[in-house]
Amino acid sequence: MQILSHRGFWHTPKEKNSRAAIQRSFKEGFGLETDVRDLLFEGESQIVVSHDPVTSHEDVLTCRELVNIARRHSVDAHPYREEGGPRLAQFVGDVGEMVAPYVSSNILRAPAPIAINVKADGLAPQVAQLMSELDSDQTPWFAFDMSVPEMVRYLDLGIPVFTRLSETEMVPPLYDHAQGVWVDSFMKMPWYDVGVLQRQLDRRKNVCLVSPELHGHPDETREFVWSMILKGGLAEAENFMLCTDFPQHAREFFRGER
């Protein structure tokens, strides 16, 4: 399972989607969920990281900066790989089992995916151009939450897309074309169970589950869902993700470090 930090690994709500929270998320080895929208600045349209509409360019992280942070993380996490050089797997080769115990855990860190929550129409070409600069092996990414017409445009551009599955969207749009499923629940107690989630994995879909606290549900609901994931064996699935406001707590919970 991969843990995605919701709007970065923040310590206070004011840090959400900030440069510090996003840098911290990558540094700690978490995946990232963040929001993008457009902003007109000095006559030029830019894509910026923000959940809500932006009226000022001050203290706003641009998508270009986000990509640069992610690229620096990839280089820092894999120091033996120079840009354009051989991948770590090639370097280790057939002696990987002998080398691995002596290599820093940072070097062998699992890829940290980025989930791009699309908050405005018309961004697909710019998003595709910017995110294409990332090494998809080290920093896989996908877009989600756009309108259905926009989803068609993203798919036409070859952008990896997750469709939504929730109690209000029981038939996910463009399911067969989506790389994965973003599973959400707006009710106090989730409508899904392990079987619902496992069926998506069995259909060879990546799955990202929204942790209950993202909708303000109580700690008891979060503990229930996390325990369900753990007992159901989903935490062992490579193509299962959990998006949470508490990535460090999630890491400790699923590693049995509580």
Q: Residue 10, Cα to own-chain centre: how many angstroms?
A: 15
pLDDT exceeds 70 at position 107: no
Q: What is the 3-state secondary structure (H, E, C) of 49-68?
A: ECCCCCCCCCCCCEHHHHHH
pLDDT-derived band at 257 (thresholds 50, 70, 90) equals low
State the pLDDT at residue 85.
46
Is 90 part of any domain? no
What separation in angstroms does the CA of 64 have from each of 29, 35, 46, 54, 142? 21, 13, 9, 16, 16
* CA–CA dist 4, 29 (Å, integer): 9
pLDDT tens digits for range 181-240 = 999 999 889 999 999 999 999 999 999 999 999 999 999 999 999 999 999 999 999 999
End-to-end CA distance of the chain: 18
Sequence-ordered list of residues with C-beta below 8 angstroms from that of 106, at least 6 positions apart, any chain: 29, 76, 77
Is 235 part of any domain? yes
Number of domains the chain is built from: 1
pLDDT exceeds 80 at position 258: no
State the pLDDT at residue 231.
97
Is 89 part of any domain? no
Coil, strand or helix at 244: strand
pLDDT exceeds 60 at position 88: no
Of the candidates 11, 44, 243, the one whose C-alpha atom is nearest the C-alpha of residue 145 is 243
Is 94 part of any domain? no
Is 183 part of any domain? yes
Apex 9 CA angle, 71 and 242, nearest 5: 90
Largest CA distance in the chain: 56
Q: Which range marks the domain in which residue 211 is found? A: 2-82+100-254
pLDDT tens digits for range 33-87 = 999 999 987 677 889 999 998 877 777 899 999 999 999 987 655 544 444 444 4
pLDDT tens digits for range 128-165 = 999 999 998 889 999 999 999 999 999 999 999 999 99
Query: Could you give the percent of the chain with pLDDT greater than 70?
Result: 85
pLDDT tens digits for range 115-124 = 999 999 999 9
Is 88 part of any domain? no
Is 93 part of any domain? no
State the pLDDT at residue 76.
57
Of the candidates 250, 248, 208, the one whose C-alpha atom is nearest the C-alpha of residue 114 is 208
Is 56 part of any domain? yes
CATH number, domain containing residue 234: 3.20.20.190
